[in-house]
Amino acid sequence: MKSRHLNIFDYALVVAGLLSLFGFMLARAGYAGVNQEIKGTPTVNIEVFITGLKTKDLNLFKVGDTSAFTIRNQPVQPPMKIVKVEHQPKQVAFLSADGKKAVAFPDPANAMAHDFNVTVEAQADQTADGYVIRGNKIKLGNQVELEGFKYRVQGVVVDINSVH
């Protein structure tokens, strides 16, 4: 009868199995960052600032409609409800006549450019590190994408508030 010798692949498989078991045990003991303690699941309003959107349709975002929301190329399901929309034409700054302060006016060279503040509502998990929406941390400054029937735009998160 032939005796079997262990080769390097057998040892590598055993080491990988032991490391996996060790990692699993650490995660169960609470030493991994994947299982943060959830302090609650509040409803949050996320305000997204969209600058320089070129459109003729100023009613593009409607309160009560839903909009698909994407964080770090990860779509968030289900789509979020739009709860507030603010609009203003894209502004440019000029010095006042006395030269002491800046004055903002609608941009005459780009009449179709508009700035929007769109607030969407979602359920979020609250952790010690902030809000998590369906596995994605959401923080001020995050680049996000809103998508509806007529639009797909990128914006920046400028405010996150818990709804009371």
Q: Can you tell me whether residue 64 is helix, strand or coil? A: coil
pLDDT per residue as tens digits for the range 9-31? 889 999 999 999 988 887 676 55
pLDDT per residue as tens digits for the range 54-87? 999 999 999 999 999 999 888 998 999 999 999 9
Q: What is the CB neighbour count within 10 angstroms for residue 71?
A: 20
Domain spanning 43-162 has what CATH number? 2.40.30
Between CA 147 and CA 134 the distance in angstroms is: 18
Amino acid at 25: M
Q: pTM of this prediction?
A: 0.73
Q: Work out the burial of residue 12: count CB atoms within 10 Å of its CB; fewer than 13 is exposed, 13-18 middle, 19 or more buried.
A: exposed
Q: Residue 78: is the preceding peptide bond cis (ω within 30°)?
A: yes
* Per-residue pLDDT, 68: 95
Domain ranges of the chain: 1-35, 43-162
DSSP state of 6: -
Q: What is the CB neighbour count within 10 angstroms for residue 50?
A: 20
Helices H / strands E in the chain, number of each = 1, 11
> Would the pLDDT of 124 be above 80?
yes
pLDDT per residue as tens digits for the range 83-109? 999 999 998 888 988 988 999 888 888
pLDDT per residue as tens digits for the range 136-158? 899 999 999 999 999 999 999 99
Between CA 115 and CA 117 the distance in angstroms is: 7
Angle at 106 between CA 102 and CA 111, to 5 degrees: 150
